[in-house]
Chain A
Amino acid sequence: MGSFSIFPPRASAGAAEVDALYGFLLFVGIGMTLLIFFFVFVFAIKYRRKSPEDRPKAIHGSIPLEIAWSVIPFLIMLVMFGWGTKLYFQNYSPPTRDTLDIYITGKQWMWKIQYPGGQREINELHVPTGRAVKLTLASEDVIHSFYIPAFRLKHDVVPGSYQTYWFEPTKPGRYHIFCAEYCGTNHSRMIGWVTVMDPVRYQTWLSGGNTSESMAELGERVFEQYGCVTCHVLDQQGRVPSLRNVFGKPVQLDNGQTVLADESYIRESILNPNAKIVKGYHRDIMPVFQGQIGEESLLQLIVYIKSLSAPANEVSK
């Protein structure tokens, strides 16, 4: 062990911001603790019992004091609330464009990681510096939590839905991945490493892997395998909505609502197509795929649908 620190490695811009907030909280917390300890000590010593007959006069309270020590802490806490909320929304709302999307599937007890280029890894995540990386998290069984202390980020990986968060790595190195939500026998072995590399070395690393097909190409195969292609003929509006240029766009539903076509929406529309019907189309045309497609194939399928909307920049290699 090298030098001892109360901070884990700080490898992203967001981590520095969280640490700054933590520093503020520590300052306030230690300050308050010292204040209370000081008064307890001073009162305990100064007003210690001098004779068993002591009968000190009663003091029943002071409204101004009560108001002061309610309102002042509350105002300080408002700062904590505002600052913490801002950072929280920031870390959990990925930028809408130009992110490096990586797909993570948790299962007892490993992390399966897929890159858009088709590379796959187990318990190892490689990311470049200087680029917004967006993780899409899925689980095959129980709830896990994908935790990277160096980025000060985690999110539960909830089966049946996608969760996302994002970060921009700044410092090359190898950092821990932990599963932070108890998931059974080998919970504490459901760990891995995230390797942050500079962009040039990252490109070299990407090309080093033996990948035959990209995620989108794999997804296209799934698309054919499940017979999606028979109805969803590309570039053709028929009984079913076209899939081109859907991803990332708002979609009008038949109940008047508008939703954003993100990963969660596509997922729901595949597994449970009647949940949200696009305006102008009929329900009950598409079969239900709940329980039919594995999480990894589903992710590939979604990347394929994504690739139908993204102009070139999404497909690396």
Chain B
Amino acid sequence: MARYSAFSILRNALSGQKNWQRAWRAAEPKPSYDVIVIGGGGHGLATAFYLAENHGIRNVAVLEKGYVGGGNVGRNTTVIRSNYLLDGNTQFYEFSMKLWEGMSRALNFNVMFSQRGQLVTAHSADQLDGFSHRANVMRLNGIDADILDREDVRRLVPYLDFSDTARFPIHGAIFQGRAGTARHDAVAWGYARAADGHAVDIIQNCEVTGFLRDRDSIVGVETTKGRIGAGKVGLAVAGHTSVLGVKAGLELPIESHVLQAFVTEPLKPLVDHVVAYGADHFYVSQSDKGGLVFGGNLDGYNSYAQRGNLGVVREVAEAAIALMPCISRVRLLRHWGGVMDMTPDASPIICPTPIDGLYLNGGWCYGGFKATPASGWCFAHTIATGKPHPLVAAYGLDRFRTGHTLDEAGAGPSAWLQ
């Protein structure tokens, strides 16, 4: 695989761009693999990459029913942060952040990880106390965090509503400087290319339709491209975990819900950070191309349709103007929906399953993108060793039975309220 660099760009420019190679091979399935990862999204591709890179397992296939990166990795609002409160989440997401910081160079693919900082506004002293608690935990775990007062916020993001007519006046904010955004598609492509570089087969347009069993163990999959044997099978199809889980015989605490994302027309630089509104559901950043990328709350009912409803579009627009009155005339260019696996505690699931040979990675709720590298790293470890990586020890499927839930928001077991 030829390395990407400024030099390679120059050389190819001089030869009319004729000498670039495929970013990854168009592989067709072999009869069997040591490991099959179902799902060619960010998590599945990262898992395959780390299986090869960290564990030397190279006889690996990634099966993707559509095209690489066509699911949530390419539909999200690209926010990356590690500002989690609960023991278990804090360390996992910070580990992910560290992997992000080295990702472009590790993959030789520029994922444009932009550590522009994220702030969440607070609208009362009590809310700011809550944020301080979170910031304290972050600092005590070696993670950068700051608490800003109203004037700090005004200096940083003067375009927010600091007027007398603000319905929920800004009191302060929590800020994480190392948080930011990345180019979402590039993450999928970068992992695909790097995994391919380790001889992983990436097989597109290959839908898994069933599982092959030998007594109680899973030993392969049925696909639209035929049967494929596997020593171990890893499931990484967040959004559709239940659909495949049912086929494997898993009982899951997961519901699929739609979260909408929005992008405006491209503008000259306006929003230099990731900004989230603490009084309602709204968060925004500006892509390098200039579009404001934003999102809000779940549509709020089970859905596998990758589209949202107009009521939520309006609510998000209202929150957008409440926070940033200056974008009233900026125009919405596109909105779309992503299908999320929602769990009863809004924390993910990475673990061996009760079914021998089957490993589960799912339940990412609306936070899967930022977890991509750590999820792949830890899932690869879990598959390779058969035991959960210590960083995902809290993400077992049995936690709902035992009561060891990790409910960051305290919203309780109704998945759509998380």
Bind each other: no
